[in-house]
Structure 1
Amino acid sequence: MTPRSTAVLFWAIGVFAYIVAVFHRQTLGVSSIEAAARLGVGMTGLSTLAMLQLLVYAAMQVPVGVLVDRLGSKRMLIAGATVMACGQLVFALSGGPLSGIAARALIGCGDAMTFISVIRMVNLHFPAHRNPVMVQLTGLLGQLGAIASAVPLINSLRAYGWTPTFLGAAGLGALSAFLLVTVLRDSRPERTGEPPGLKAAWAEPGTRLGMWTHAATQCSAAAFLLLWGYPFLVQGQGLSPSAAGVLLSTLTLCGMACGPLLGYLAGRFPFHRSRMVLIVIGTTVAAWTAVLAWPGRAPLWLLVLLVVVLAANGPASMIGFDYARTFNPAARIGTATGIVNGGGFVASMSVIALVGVTLDLVGETGPDAFRWAFAVQYPIWALGAVQVFRYRGKARRLLLSVQAAQTSQPDA
């Protein structure tokens, strides 16, 4: 095991790279008005840029996981930071939609390399009982990148303009790459006799338990925060924009507070992790049911309760990565983590897309329209919960068979 001070230093450098990655990820959202004018696109064009970035991120999850297992975290983090810095450089010089597309695709690609690499470092450099808390802290601190991409970036755009602002963002990416090169130490993973690659990671029931955990718990809060929460609160529930902003901020802040607690509980009671996951799914279903079943617009106290319940979704989804660590050897942790992360992303994108399609079909944005739109979550929750039950049983039976085989072997 790596000495504690060294492990914390390496983790801190990795977390800084992740914070910078989240900053890059969010820059389009807070510069959307300027981007539309600069690139000559409308709202549909901006949506296409955002979706392209996310789709590239999703498509890269499993390939990046395989590469992390083969090349190590340092190489992948350096590659990710460099690719994102190049993306911001292209964005700074962009004057049309094609260059904007290239820039956001590069940012999505580099972003995909970052989180998985940091999680692998946590898994390898910290003892097992500390892993859940460290993973939660990683996700929590990453939100600093979202905060940095808001007011500071907006002020920079107003004070200095487009090109200097995004050249500065590219410089921040270059600083991250420099720190990774000079401070982080991570040798190439050694070859072992363990089954390599994607097939072995997918065949492991614990990997799929982690994937369905991540999918069932992450999707609702992710769709709410990334796109549909604001219009639901303003158009569907009649709140003012400022009140909706406070509720969305409350969701984020409560999630940051919930993360370390849930991480501690997952580390302290590892055999009860699936119960925690199912409780989070159940409370999310109950909160949404109360809101959607309320005649007309829901009262403010019920909307506050909804966002507080949704705040546990993100931290609960991190338990999926703990399953990937528990049930896979070090040689394929990156691959298993990529499968888990990719599953959660696909579920989140499915909810986002289905809500949008339903709103288009209904043709309005009142309470009834959003009631039908958010009802699309129920089949995804049901499927996720069933699969968590299913693979929890398979994983437990596999553990019991391994333990029985070990105890039956004579001492050497």
Structure 2
Amino acid sequence: MSVQEQNHRGAYLVWLVGLAAYLVAVFHRSSLAVAGLVASERFDISAAQLSTFVMLQLLVYAGMQIPVGLAVDRFGPRAVMLAGAVVLTLSQAAFAFSESYATALAARFFVGMGDAMTFVCLLRLVNAWFSPGKVPQITLLTGPIGQLGAIIAAVPMTWALSQLGWTKAYLLAAGFGLVITVAVLAFVRDEPKARSVRGAALSWTNIRTSLGASWEHPGTRLGFWMHFVTQFSSTVLGLLWGYPFFVRGEHTSETFAGTLLTLMVVAVMIAGPVLGRLIGNYPWHRSTIVLTIVSAIVVVWTAVLAWPGDAPGWLLVVMVIVVGVGGPASMIGFDLVRTSNPIDRLSTATGIVNQAGFLASLITVIAVGVILDLTGQNFKAAMSFQYVLWALGLLQVWRYRVKTRARMVRDDPGRWARYTRIG
């Protein structure tokens, strides 16, 4: 193995600590999922008001991506990750003591903000500590493992809410943030040769230059649309509408609906490392892999929605597995960012891309709810809204893959000649 192919010493320790921070952030993001009924009673709110928590967190998370990316390029991933851990800890503690809907919303706003300050930092650390050949595999492994935070949140929070009550349960959750803060302080370094790095000052001129240069490169735009078109279907199912769609739209049992959502998570976990190795071996065909996966998602959804009456159970199983693959497939967009931008604006470009899938998810969550209200709970009509975003996303991926390939061949013909030979 050449020096260029070797990871830096301590790379896995830095990654594992950063991964733990991301897992805890997802835990905090998902900690309300099992507390819906308790929250409705505590704050005396309707189902629509309860869903506002989810939409607010998505909106804040997406809206914070570019500011966070700029901050990471300026102050380094360690400082921003620490800030995120502190914000998450304090906001969860505030949520624990919230007794009104307004204060609870404010607390969840800051949960979304702290959550947004973690993932971009982790990707920057991966790029700094691992060899270029290893980065795609670690990146596509990072997302699925981090999503385990949503699963881990379910059982402990259910137990804590029933045994300890609202305030103590969320204070206990906030305590995880303290542990992560100490771990990041002790073990995370921005780069192998420096505990902390600093970029250019955040003047308006530098911000415009960084954003403009990042967005100008077609590789960043291709990554944006990859993330946009692959992620939203699985996110919408897992975050809000999957359970109601299966139980009320397809008339499955509640147990089977839960099993379907669990299978989707399993598909995410398995697909991540497989896709990581695939794009590492065939970098020239990253957009082809995305186009193939999204086309498969569209096909299985079409089969379910077009099926006369309720779709059979086996078809729903196939659907959640295929849709689940779209989650880690969205991470391929970050690999386009890596090969299209210099390190000094990598996090800014990553932030641009990372907002795409969450914007698509937010649009879909809202649209499905509106269509359900307008059609008297017609889930097939509501879920058909996804075709609008699939059509837009696929068109843009195809458009920018042509431009990205042309730019990359022009900028570094030797490198991309090697890529086309292996892929």
Which TM-score tier does this pair reach, normalised by the shorter chain? over 0.9
For 2:234, the equivalent position in structure 1 comes to 221
> 288, 297, 320: which one pairs with 2:310?
297
Distance in 1 separating the partners of 2:207 and 2:260? 47
* 2:360 alignment partner, SS class: helix
> Relative to 1, partners in 2 of residues 1:279 and 1:405: Cα closer, same or farther, differing over 3 Å?
closer
User: By how many angstroms is 1:174 displaced?
Assistant: 1.1
Confirm whether residue 387 of structure 1 aligns to residue 396 of structure 2: yes
* Aligned equivalent of 2:110: 106
Alignment partner of 1:122 out of 121, 126, 131: 126
Once the two structures are TM-superposed, the CA of residue 42 in structure 1 deviates from its matched residue by: 2.4
User: Bigger shift: 257-266 or 45-54?
Assistant: 45-54
Q: Give the conservation status (yes or no) of the 8 Å contact 2:290–2:329.
A: yes
Matching residue of 1:70? 74
**Partner residue of 1:145 out of 143, 149, 166:** 149
The C-alpha deviation readout for 1:243-281, integer Å capped at 9, x for no partner, is 000011001111101110011101111001111000001
Contact 2:76 2:199 in 1 (8 A): no
Q: CA RMSD in A?
A: 1.9
Match of 1:183 in 2: 187
1:150, distance to aligned residue in structure 2 (A): 0.5
Q: Distance in 2 between matches of 1:204 and 1:324?
A: 9
Does 1:97 pair with 2:110? no
1:397 alignment partner, one of 388, 397, 406: 406
Structure 1 residue 3: Cα displacement: 5.1
Q: Give the Cα separation in 2 of the matches to 1:307 and 1:87.
A: 33
Partner of residue 291 from structure 2, selected from 278, 281, 288: 278
1:24 aligns with 2:37: no
Letter in 1 for 2:410: S
- Answer yes or no: is the 8 Å Cα contact 2:220–2:349 preserved in 1: yes
Bigger drift between 163-172 and 66-75 goes to 163-172
Shift of 1:196: 4.8
The alpha-carbon deviation at position 296 of structure 1 amounts to 1.0
Greater CA drift, 122-131 or 334-343: 122-131
The structural deviation recorded for 1:210 is: 0.2
The letter of the residue matching 1:229 is: G
- Closer, same or farther: CA 238–326 of 1 in aligned 2, 3 Å: same
C-alpha spacing 1:5/1:140, structure 2 compared with 1 (3 Å): farther
Question: Is 2:60 the counterpart of 1:56?
Answer: yes
State the shift of 1:404 in Å: 5.9
Is the 2:225–2:396 contact (alpha carbons within 8 Å) kept by the matching residues of 1? yes
Equivalent in the alignment of 2:280: 267
In structure 2, list runs of 5 or more residues that go unmatched.
Answer: 191-195, 416-423
How many residues align? The count is: 402
Following the alignment from structure 2 to structure 1, what is the Cα–Cα distance between the partners of residues 39 and 369? 23
Q: 2:136 aligns with which of 132, 136, 150?
A: 132
Cα distance, 1:143 vs structure 2: 2.1
Which moved further from structure 2: 316-325 or 95-104?
A: 95-104
| 2:217 matched residue in structure 1 | 204
Shift in Å at residue 49 of structure 1?
Answer: 2.1
CA gap 1:103/1:401 in 2 versus in 1, 3 angstroms:
same
Structure-1 residue corresponding to 2:379? 370
Amino acid at match of 1:52: L
Given that 2:88 and 2:111 are in contact with CA atoms closer than 8 Å, whether structure 1 keeps it comes out as yes
- Letter of the 2:76 partner, please give it: G
CA distance in 1, matches of 2:226, 2:245: 26
| Structure 2 CA distance for aligned equivalents of residues 14 and 169 of structure 1 | 18
Any unmatched runs of 5+ in structure 1? Answer: 407-412
Give the Å deviation of 1:308: 1.3
Give 1:74's aligned amino acid.
Answer: R
> Over residues 200-245 of structure 1, what are the superposed CA-to-partner deviations in whole Å (9 max), with x where a residue is unaligned?
1111110000000001111111111111111111111110000000
Deviation at 1:34, TM superposition (A): 1.6
Separation in 2 of the partners of 1:404 and 1:295?
52
8 Å CA contact 2:227, 2:357 repeated in 1: yes
1: distance between equivalents of 2:67 and 2:200? 18
- Counterparts of 1:48 and 1:153, CA distance in 2: 20
Q: Secondary structure at the match of 1:59?
A: helix
CA shift at 1:383, angstroms?
1.2
Q: Percent identity?
A: 47
Q: Distance in 1 between matches of 2:413 and 2:158?
A: 60
- Displacement of 1:50 in angstroms is 2.2
Matched, 1:337 2:332: no
State the shift of 1:40 in Å. Answer: 2.7
The structure 1 residue matched to 2:340, chosen from 313, 322, 327, is 327
Per-residue CA deviations over 1:336-387 (Å, capped at 9, x if unaligned) read 11111111111111122222221111113xxxx2222121111211111111
